[in-house]
Amino acid sequence: MALPNLSKEMLLMNTSCQVVDEGWPEAWYMVEDDKVESQKHENRLTPNQPVNVKDMRALGLNYWKMDAENYKYPVKSIPWDPQEATDPRLKALRDDRGYSYADVLTIHPDFLPGFDGLVKNFFTEHIHDAEEIRYILGGSGFFDVRDPNDKWVRVHVKKGDLMTLPEGIYHRFTCDDTNFIHAMRLFIGVPCWTPINRFSTDTDNHPSRKKYVCLYCMPQELLDAEEKEEEKC
Ligand code: KMT
Ligand code: NI
């Protein structure tokens, strides 16, 4: 299998510094869905089964620690021009990765009409045909992502976390018990927020899903064997 474009990845790491493991959000395996009493609770296994940074990277997640303390953003702005960014780190990410669109939302019963319905919708399992990029400006919430064995990994994002989920990963979002998250959504090009729900369409055969499976769900033995083959050539 062809190696990812390493030189580009290295450049991204140098300019926007996604190099350290410290500061990544906490993550853990969730209880089965039929044991979930409230989507907003932590829903950890007993005993807790943590998911470390290496495992999160292997799922295709990327993470940057941002300064959400010293740079201020509106409560709501749809859209928000990423050219207005003053944080040098956000500017570097924007320019390196081509984030040309952004908006800012506050998800809280007082700020978002139809809060309950929207939070329920966010929690419907889906994919997108592009990367999902979220910068948490305040508050906290849970992104749940499926691992290659179809188990839910719960990632607790909070103020200052900028996380990307790769195209085609099965996921969902919910507020936690605080019922408050202030977030920036970024996008390359013209945004399309319509989710492709897992169980309402033939999502397993969607090209974005197939791409994800090919990149992140291949058994390690297969990848190792292919690497050995390439070394021979
Ligand atoms: C999503 O993808 O479910 C959302 O955009 C939720 C708001 S961002 C924290
Ligand atoms: Ni999504």
Task: Please choose from 73, 121, 122, 169 the residue to mutate so as to test ligand 1's pocket, defined by most ligand atoms within 8 A of CB.
Answer: 122
198 CB less than 6 Å from ligand 1?
no
Model's pTM, two decimal places? Answer: 0.88
What is the reported pLDDT for 16? 63
**Architecture of the domain spanning 25-232:** Sandwich (2.60)
Q: Give the CA radius of gyration of the chain.
A: 18
146 CB less than 6 Å from ligand 1?
no
What is the reported pLDDT for 14? 44
Q: Which residue has the higher pLDDT, 193 or 44?
A: 44
Ligand 1 atom at minimum distance from 173 CA:
3
Please state, as a whole number, how many other Cβ atoms lie within 10 Å of the Cβ of residue 178.
Answer: 12
What are the pLDDT digits (tens) for 107-166?
999 999 999 999 999 999 999 999 999 999 999 999 999 999 999 999 999 999 999 999
List strand residue ranges (DSSP E) for 61-217, in order: 62-65, 101-107, 126-127, 132-146, 152-158, 161-165, 171-175, 181-187, 196-197
Q: What is the mean pLDDT of residues 216-225?
A: 76
Average pLDDT score, the chain: 91
Sign of the C-alpha dihedral computed for residues 114, 119, 120 and 124 taken in this order = positive
What are the pLDDT digits (tens) for 46-73?
999 999 999 999 999 999 999 999 999 9
Q: Whose CA is nearest to atom 9 of ligand 1?
A: 183
Give the number of the ligand closest to the Cα of residue 163. Answer: 1
In the predicted structure, residue 213 carries a pLDDT above the cut 90:
yes
Please state, in angstroms and rounded to a whole number, the distance separating the CA atoms of residues 89 and 175: 26
What is the reported pLDDT for 229? 74
The answer to whether the CB of 167 falls within 8 A of the CB of 128 is yes
Q: What is the mean pLDDT of residues 203-224?
A: 88
The answer to whether the CB of 157 falls within 8 A of the CB of 142 is yes
Please state, in angstroms and rounded to a whole number, the distance separating the CA atoms of residues 156 and 143: 7
Cα 230 to ligand 2 centroid, rounded to whole Å: 35
Per-domain boundaries in the chain: 25-232
Cα 64 to ligand 2 centroid, rounded to whole Å: 19
Cα 9 to ligand 1 centroid, rounded to whole Å: 26
The two structure tokens encoding residue 115: 């809060």
Task: Please choose from 106, 115, 185 the residue to mutate so as to test ligand 1's pocket, defined by most ligand atoms within 8 A of CB.
Answer: 185
172 CB less than 6 Å from ligand 1?
no
What is the reported pLDDT for 225? 73
What are the pLDDT digits (tens) for 81-100?
999 999 999 999 999 999 99
Q: Which ranges of the chain does DSSP label H, i.e. alpha helix?
A: 6-16, 53-58, 88-97, 115-122, 207-216, 220-232
Cα 202 to ligand 2 centroid, rounded to whole Å: 17
What is the reported pLDDT for 23? 87
In the predicted structure, residue 230 carries a pLDDT above the cut 90:
no
Please state, in angstroms and rounded to a whole number, the distance separating the CA atoms of residues 10 and 96: 11
